[in-house]
Structure formats: structure tokens, C-alpha cells
């Protein structure tokens, strides 16, 4: 008779909103979960649900073969991980860093982990805390495929999809910063739109259904233009840059007539005008992609 397989175990370092959601999802899936956070007390609800609260990060690390860290940035994860006692405890274990930061910070952390005999997988979470533990959660990883494979069954307790993007350790962070660039510039545009609408007597609630319609236009554009960008054709057949720049100028004029800061729009219009000035007025807006690099 084979002995029952041991209960899977994980340590979660960092109990901000995301770290707490990760730990809660592990617990809900029956994974033995040890937690630690710099500021004590953030683990109260998790402990009520069965988490083990560790008094120090090194004791937290020692409790599990798999350690997940999720804090504000890599300065914070370095502050936790690069202390001698923690490094000693991490030796021979697997560290999955779900903290967001730059690709270079991920590469630097991988080199540090390698020097200390720590197996290292980098990752990023592309969806909000409310999705964690549900089919809507999106996790991306990069680094050794073998680590992704061997810890996949525990990580899948977090719900959603867990995509390995390649062995280059910086690749998940590279996707993350590119994708968050879409998110934050869209949010800046949305804040500008709300200010302009308000100045014209339109409430956010009134604008919201139409704003959703504008948001829905984007996914097919991403799909349709990806090929143009990759092959450098930047077709502007349906909407040339000259037309885009004119539309942006109206938005700037309407905003500034109300004394509203149009910096976000001015940045976009400036890019379009520069591309037009370089002779690309008949191309589509994605032509801007090709002029953003170092001059």
C-alpha cells in the first residue's frame, strides 16, 4: 500500500492586499500555509482560517520548500530576503517572487539567488486581488521551466491561468511593465476624460456606459495591429495619423478652454505630430511605436 502524499506546503512573505489574497487562496485549497509580514497583525484573519504565523522571515522560510514573496517592490523583497539568516534558510528551497518591478531587478535577483543556491522563479500577477483563487486570475512566470513544472500543482491553488513565458528570468517582468503601461496610461486618460466631462456637466455615471464602449474598441485593435507592428507596416488605411492628431487637438482645445491640464493628451498628440513630421502622416497610430526609441 502506498503512503498518502504529504500535504503541500507554502510560505507567503508579505501580507499586503495581494499577499493576503494569495495566502487565503492557498488555505482555501488545503495547502499548509505559513505567513510572515514586516508589520505584525496583518495575518490575524489568515491565522483564524488555519495559517501558521511565523515570528521571523527565516522561520517562515524554514517551514516550506516553496516560498512565495509578494511585496511592494524589489527594494522591499531585498530587505526581507537578503539578510544572512534568511539566505541560509532559503538555501535549497524554491523562491517564487510575485512582486512587481523591472526586468533588470528580476535578473539581478536571479543572479543573487544562484550565488546562494536558491532555486528562483520570477512571476507577476496581472489581475486584481478579487480574482485570486478564481478562474479569472492571471499569473505569468519566467525562469527555469522545470521549477514552474515541479511547483505548478501548488501554484495552481491560486486559481486562474499560470503561463510560463520562457527561461529568460526577466521576461515575466517585461510583460508586466509593458501591460501595466497600457493600464496606467489608460487610467490617466480616463481621469482626464472624467475631468473634461465634469467641466461640461456630464457626471462619471453618465459617461461610464459610453466609456465602456470605448474600452471595448481596444481589444480588436490590439489584435488587428499586432501583425502591422511586428512586420513594420503600420497601416493607416482606416485611420491615418493626420486624422488622429486632429481629433486629439479638439480634445486639448476643449480641455484647456476649461483650464484643465491636458498633459496626457498633449503627450499623445506630440508623438503623433512628430511621426507626421517625419513623413508618416498616412500611417496608423501604431507608427508611433517606431519613433519612441532613442533618437
Which CB atom, from 18 or from 90, has the smaller least distance to ligand NDP?
18
In the Cβ-directed half-sphere of 214, how many Cα atoms lie within 13 Å? 10
CB nearer to ligand NDP: pick between 130 and 247: 130
Among 8, 10, 12, 19, binds ligand NDP (CB under 6 A): 19
Mark residues 114-153: x for contact with ligand NDP by CB under 6 A, - for none. Answer: -----------x--xx------------------------
CB 30 within 8 A of CB 58: no
Residue 79 or residue 257: which is nearer to ligand NDP going by CB? 79
> Is residue 169 within 8 Å of residue 122, measured between CB atoms?
yes
What single DSSP character describes residue 161?
Answer: E
By CB under 6 A, how many residues form the interface with ligand NDP? Answer: 21
- Binding positions for ligand NDP, 90-109, rule CB under 6 A: 99-100
Distance CA 176, CA 71 (A): 15
Q: How far is the CB of 34 from ligand NDP (least distance, A)?
A: 15
* C-alpha to C-alpha distance for 127 and 136, rounded to whole angstroms: 8
d(CA 123, CA 175): 10
C-alpha cell at 10: 507554502
In whole angstroms, the minimum distance from the beta carbon of 21 to ligand NDP comes to 8
Q: Which residue is nearest to ligand NDP (CB)?
A: 16
Q: C-alpha angle with apex 12: 9 to 15, nearest 5 degrees?
A: 145
Q: Which of 47, 50, 72, 179 binds ligand NDP (CB under 6 A)?
A: 72
Q: How far is the CB of 70 from ligand NDP (least distance, A)?
A: 5
96 exposed, middle or buried (CB, 10 Å; 0-12, 13-18, 19+)? buried
Using the structure block, give the residue that is written with the C-alpha cell 486618460.
189
Query: Whose grid coordinates read 538555501?
Result: 91
Of 67-75, 185-193, 211-219, 262-270, the window that binds ligand NDP (rule: CB under 6 A) is 67-75
Query: In this complex, which beta carbon is closest to ligand NDP, that of residue 157 or of residue 265?
Result: 157
- Binding to ligand NDP, residues 226-265 (CB under 6 A): none
Q: Strand pairing partners for 170?
A: none
The binding site for ligand NDP (CB under 6 A) comprises 14-19, 37-39, 42, 70-72, 76, 79-80, 99-100, 125, 128-129
Amino acid at each position: 500500500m502506498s503512503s498518502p502524499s504529504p500535504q503541500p506546503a507554502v510560505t507567503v512573505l508579505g501580507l499586503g492586499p495581494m499577499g493576503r489574497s494569495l495566502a487565503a487562496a492557498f488555505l482555501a485549497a488545503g495547502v499548509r500555509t505559513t505567513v510572515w509580514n514586516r508589520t505584525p497583525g496583518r495575518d490575524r484573519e489568515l491565522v483564524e482560517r488555519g495559517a501558521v504565523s511565523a515570528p521571523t522571515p527565516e522561520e517562515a522560510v524554514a517551514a516550506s520548500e516553496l516560498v512565495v514573496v509578494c511585496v511592494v517592490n524589489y527594494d522591499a523583497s531585498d530587505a526581507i530576503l537578503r539578510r544572512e539568516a534568511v539566505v541560509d534558510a532559503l538555501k535549497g528551497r524554491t523562491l517564487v517572487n510575485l512582486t512587481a518591478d523591472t526586468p533588470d531587478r528580476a535578473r539581478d535577483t536571479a543572479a543573487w539567488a544562484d550565488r546562494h543556491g536558491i532555486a528562483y522563479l520570477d512571476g507577476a500577477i496581472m489581475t486584481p486581488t478579487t480574482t485570486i483563487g478564481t478562474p479569472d486570475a492571471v499569473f505569468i512566470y519566467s525562469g527555469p521551466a522545470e521549477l514552474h513544472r515541479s511547483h505548478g500543482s501548488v501554484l495552481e491553488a491560486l486559481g486562474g491561468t499560470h503561463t510560463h513565458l520562457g527561461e529568460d528570468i526577466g521576461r515575466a517582468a517585461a510583460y508586466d511593465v509593458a501591460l501595466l503601461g497600457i493600464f496606467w496610461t489608460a487610467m490617466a486618460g480616463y481621469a482626464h476624460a472624467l475631468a473634461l466631462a465634469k467641466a461640461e456637466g456630464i457626471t462619471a455615471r453618465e459617461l461610464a456606459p459610453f466609456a465602456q464602449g470605448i474600452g471595448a474598441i481596444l481589444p480588436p485593435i490590439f489584435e488587428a495591429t499586432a501583425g502591422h507592428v511586428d512586420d513594420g507596416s503600420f497601416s493607416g488605411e482606416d485611420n491615418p495619423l493626420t486624422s488622429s492628431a486632429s481629433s486629439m487637438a479638439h480634445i486639448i482645445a476643449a480641455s484647456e478652454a476649461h483650464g484643465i491640464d491636458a498633459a496626457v493628451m498633449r503627450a499623445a498628440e506630440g508623438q503623433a505630430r512628430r511621426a507626421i513630421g517625419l513623413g508618416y502622416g498616412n500611417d496608423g497610430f501604431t507608427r508611433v511605436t517606431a519613433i519612441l526609441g532613442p533618437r
